[in-house]
Amino acid sequence: MYGIRGLVAEKKAFGEEDPSQDLIDVFNVGAAIKAESYEICEYESLIDMAREMKHTKVAQLLNQNLKEEKAALKKMEAFSEKVKPNEMMNEEQEKKAAMSSKSSRSRRAA
């Protein structure tokens, strides 16, 4: 539960940086992947606990949920392959872009 709260806080902090729609999409798919991974870990530990307590039926039911979560994770991972940011700049490209926008601004000002 606290892990999911962390994801929500992360989303809020990201939104405050006023990202473009393509980056929001990338962020959201990443957040979905994190949520599914988190759920998978939770189900795995619950299944271990149920087995240790010899609650076989419970472990079976939890295992069905685990399978659903794993299927959802696979879907999200496939989706993330399709969702790409429009412009992915490396550090050097970002510097160049910043410098050229600065020089064009100063030219305009002059």
Least distance in angstroms from the C-beta of 6 to Fe ion? 16
**Which residues have CB under 8 Å from 67's CB, separation 6+?**
none
Q: Which stretch binds Fe ion (CB under 5 A): 4-12, 43-51, 63-71, 75-83?
A: 63-71
Q: Does 73 bind Fe ion (CB under 5 A)?
A: no
For residues 34 and 42, what is the distance between their CA atoms, to the nearest angstrom? 12
**Within the chain, what is the greatest distance between any pair of CA atoms?**
79
Q: Does 39 bind Fe ion (CB under 5 A)?
A: yes
* Of 2 and 108, CB closest to Fe ion: 2
**Which residues have CB under 8 Å from 55's CB, separation 6+?**
none
Residue of the chain from 51, 72, 77, 79 that contacts Fe ion (CB under 5 A): 72
Positions that interact with Fe ion (CB under 5 A): 36, 39, 69, 72
